[in-house]
Amino acid sequence: MSGPDPAAGSGPALSRRTVLMLGLVGVIGATVGSGATMVIARLGRSTQPRYRFFTEAEAGLLVDICEQIIPGDDVSGATDTGAICYIDRQLCGALARHRRAYRRGLESFRQTCLQSYGARFQDLASSAKIEALRSVERGEVPKALWSEPSAKAFFNLVVAHTMQSFYGSPRHGGNRNYASFRMLGLDYPQVVGQNRYRKA
């Protein structure tokens, strides 16, 4: 797996294929006039989903959680280094056994925020987001909303996967541009056999 990831950009992402199709629509639109609006509307719906496993809503929530786990500062955080790409991709591969935990955990998390804070997680202030996550980490959550996974188990899972994404090899979807290696002052990519030489 080394192709461009459709979920790569931080803004509204257009895959290369979508761009090509829109270009095609432009040609058709110029030809058939008013019929084009309908075609464009249908194309908007049939565009390939951005994620392999997550829904758009789940991914949006998870991106915000991951960004609190590894926040961006002068060095990129979880969002800009592709945490969601890593987790989404691995849930369709080596980490597939955790799919259920994510599906249920994210829903429990969503409802916990609504119930405890009266707002969506994404809409909370940064300090409130951290407080909300600490509650989940400690398991101090409405018990009725969490069964399997438990709040603690879900939180630990997301922390572990976010760390893997940020510090692991970029070949798996995260650590974009070796951001974490740069942060730690390690050669990136490592030149085998050369890393022992100090730079002048």
Partner 1 sequence: MALRHVNAVVVGAGAGGGVVAKVLSEAGLSVVVFERGDWVSFDEHGQDELKNQRFAVLGNAYGPDDRSPRVVETGAGTWEVVMPNEGSYNNNAACVGSGTVSYGAMAWRYMEKDFRMRSTYGAPEGSTLEDWPISYDDLEPCYERAEQEVGVSGDMSANPFAAPRRRPYPMPAFPYNTEGRILEAAAKRLGLHPFPIPMLRNSVPYGGRNACVHNRFCCGFACPNNAKNGTHNTVIPMALATGNCELRTKSIVSEVVVDERGLARGVRYFDSADRQQYQTADLVVVSGGAIETARLLLNSRSRLFPNGAGNRFDWVGRNLQGHAYCGTYGLFEEETFDDVGPGATIAISDFNHGNPGLRGGAVLTNEFIRLPYGFSVMRPPGQPSWGKAHKDFQRRFFKRCVAVLGAVQEMPVFDARMQIDPSVRDHWGIPVARLSGCRHPHDIEIGRFMVARSEIWLREAGAVTTWTYVPGMWLSGGEHQAGTCRMGSDPKTSVANRFGQVHEIDNLFISDASLHVTNGGFNPALTIMALGYWVGGHISARFKGGRFS
Residue 34 or residue 127: which is nearer to partner 1 going by CB?
127
Integer Cα distance of 187 and 133 in angstroms: 33
Residue 166 has, within 13 A of its CA and on its CB side, a CA count of 23
Q: Is 175 exposed, middle or buried (0-12, 13-18, 19+ CB in 10 A)?
A: buried
Q: Least separation, in Å, of the C-beta of 11 and partner 1?
A: 24
Residue 27 or residue 96: which is nearer to partner 1 going by CB?
96
Q: Least separation, in Å, of the C-beta of 142 and partner 1?
A: 22
Q: Please give the single-letter amino acid code of residue 69.
A: I
Which chain residues interact with partner 1 by CB under 8 A?
A: 68-71, 73, 75, 77, 90, 93-95, 130, 133, 159, 162-164, 167-169, 171-172, 180-181, 183-187, 190, 192-196
Q: Least separation, in Å, of the C-beta of 10 and partner 1?
A: 19
Distances from the Cα of 128 to the Cα of 54, 68, 192, angstroms: 25, 11, 45
Contact yes or no for 142/116 (Cβ under 8 A)? yes
Q: Least separation, in Å, of the C-beta of 92 and partner 1?
A: 12
Contact yes or no for 85/170 (Cβ under 8 A)? no
Residue 10 or residue 169: which is nearer to partner 1 going by CB?
169
Residue 47 or residue 80: which is nearer to partner 1 going by CB?
80
